[in-house]
Structure 1
Amino acid sequence: MAGPRIPHPTLKGPNVVKEIAIGVVLGLAAGSVWKMHQLSEQRRVRAFYDMLNKGEITVVAQEE
């Protein structure tokens, strides 16, 4: 009296190549976002020091 056979799904292991590709893509995306942020900050700092050297701005508060 054997019951009906139920097909069980076969479990597959992780696809290593796919996981490496996903990791590389996510790493490159995060790296490019960080690099754009870093370059933007560098531009702001350079503009600040250029204006400071030209005398357009000062870091000393004026006394009134």
Structure 2
Amino acid sequence: MGGGRVAHPVLKGPSVVKELVIGAVLGLAAGGLWKMHHWNEQRKTRAFYDLLEKGEISVVVDEE
């Protein structure tokens, strides 16, 4: 009774192209999220200064 051969996977080194593509995609995704965060903060700051300029809000505490 002869034993059957078991196919073992051949371990290869990392695929450089695949790692570059994955790194680029992750980098662009993280950069896009960071950029959207900064656009949101810029929008909030611009809205604050617009309200301040219109006189609708004040940074001075009213004394009673």
TM superposition score normalised by structure 1: 0.84
Q: Percent of pairs identical after alignment?
A: 68
What corresponds to 1:33 in structure 2? 33
* TM-score normalised over the length of structure 2: 0.84
Unaligned runs of 5+ residues in structure 2 are: none
1:53 aligns with 2:48: no
Instruction: Give the aligned partner of residue 18 of structure 2.
Output: 18
Residues 10-55 of structure 1 show CA distances to partners (whole Å, capped at 9, x for unaligned) of: 3211100000000000001001101111000000000000110111
Question: What's the offset of the Cα at 1:8?
Answer: 5.6
Quote the Cα distance in structure 1 between the aligned partners of 2:7 and 2:29: 41
